[in-house]
Amino acid sequence: MKETPLYPLRFAPIFQYRLWGGRRLSELLSVRLPGDDPIGEAWLLSDRDEHASLVADGPLKGKTVGQLLTQSPEQMLGKLSGHFSRFPLLLKYLDVSKTLSVQVHPSADYPQLIPAGDTAKTEAWVVLEAGPAARIYAGLRPGTSANVLRQAIAHGTVADQLTSFTPKPGDAVLIPAGTVHALRDVVVFEVQQNSDVTFRLFDWDNLDPKTGQRRPLQVDRAITCINFAQGATKPAIPRVEQSKSLLHEKLIQCDQFGVTRISGQGPFDVGAAQMPRVLVCLTGDGQVEYAGTSYAFGRGDVLLLPAVVGACCCRPHGVVSLLEVSLPDAA
């Protein structure tokens, strides 16, 4: 049977209830939020068995990312096809209306803490909205040891041991695996390694209204994988390239991914030869042209450009702001 050719793939968001969430994601997406519960996360691109993103339109509508990778690994991942058995990144919107738990994710230096089939977890945020109580906690204060942290957990004073800052829209923050972190009163775009390994240190004594219970902590495992040498984490300084009608800002570049913000009006090129790229539309709308066909996108949409698509032309309808997420050239 002949395979259906790949094309720029748009995915439907997957919504997640979180006790710290809200309803602000309705302002970022072109689809309605379900129900009335607080929605903390919209998973934009996920290759996980428990929450697999589905292609939203075109001949491959209803296919998961994993199915496409199994059927066409080289066309999907190009030069990276021999390195990954699933798509290596997970992309989300987060609405942290209350306060995210104080948590940490393990690095690859602690394989005993990472379940089979999962990976380490470095992540990054791009701040989209910042409320009046907005705060980003990231990194430990100088002199904070494991014993000091345990005492702070016991006395409910963990925030005193964290470095923090007041974020503003547009800030980009890299959170390497091993960094203690939390968020409050912000809406962010998040890109992370495709891992679901999180260890909570402190949950602000919150009760889950659905269960009436506090969520479990994983203090011992968290402290084991903390990078105690990690100092204060601040917003990244963008590397700016500007042309007459377009602004390119390299926000994040690390071993696991890169994030570039493209703002302005086109047309302009997106994607890269023999490598997958992901486009996330923050504002505006337009279309991507590939092989004589146009693929529409709007505010909040995500488009995966498989490696076989390569570089193609983006034609905005007026001014747009996009994030282009890249994978490293070599795994």
Q: What is the mean pLDDT of residues 232-252?
A: 92
Asked if residue 2 has pLDDT above 70, the reply is no
Contacts of 301 (CB under 8 A, 6+ apart): 10, 30, 280, 281
Note whether 170 and 101 are within 8 A (CB).
Answer: no
Report pLDDT digits (tens) over 73-115: 999 999 999 889 899 999 999 999 999 999 999 999 999 999 9
Asked if residue 216 has pLDDT above 70, the reply is yes
Q: 1 pLDDT band (50/70/90 cuts)? A: very low
Note whether 105 and 54 are within 8 A (CB).
Answer: no
**What domains, with CATH codes, occur in the chain?**
9-225 (2.60.120.10), 239-326 (2.60.120.10)
Query: What is the pTM assigned to this prediction?
Result: 0.95
Q: 210 pLDDT band (50/70/90 cuts)? A: confident
Report pLDDT digits (tens) over 36-55: 999 999 999 999 999 999 99
Report pLDDT digits (tens) over 156-209: 999 999 999 999 999 999 999 999 999 999 999 999 999 999 999 999 988 888
- For residue 236, the model assigns a pLDDT of 96
